[in-house]
């Protein structure tokens, strides 16, 4: 297989949703597994894996635009309000 590129990683991560974040994280991990730890594409892939991990604990990618304030009328009726930029904490057992 050819050496992975940023475009390869972006193609996997670009359409990510919370529902599929961990499956995509695993694919990125496989893609960069053979690269040396100081390789720039490996570091880029690891950054994207961190994003996918946060996305897995969120309800929306919501990278663009302002966040809705929790004081907004009706906020309590929103079923989930954890964007990838501020995900819910991971569950502990």
Q: What is the mean pLDDT of each run of 10 residues along the chain (93 residues)?
A: 92 90 95 96 97 82 64 68 70 67
What is the pLDDT at residue 46? Answer: 97
What is the pLDDT at residue 50? Answer: 93
pTM strictly above 0.85: no
What is the pLDDT at residue 86? Answer: 72
Burial of 3 (0-12, 13-18, 19+ CB in 10 A): exposed
Q: For residues 13 and 52, what is the distance between their CA atoms, to the nearest angstrom?
A: 8
Q: For residues 80 and 58, what is the distance between their CA atoms, to the nearest angstrom?
A: 8
């Amino acid at each position: 297989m050819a050496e992975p590129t940023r475009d390869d990683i972006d193609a996997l991560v670009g359409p990510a949703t919370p529902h599929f974040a961990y499956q995509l994280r695993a694919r990125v991990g496989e893609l960069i597994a053979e690269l040396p730890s100081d390789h720039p594409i490996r570091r880029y892939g690891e950054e994207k894996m961190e994003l996918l991990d946060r996305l897995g604990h969120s309800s929306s990618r919501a990278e663009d635009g302002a966040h809705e304030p929790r004081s907004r009328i009706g906020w309590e009726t929103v079923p989930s309000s954890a964007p990838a930029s501020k995900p819910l904490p991971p569950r502990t057992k």
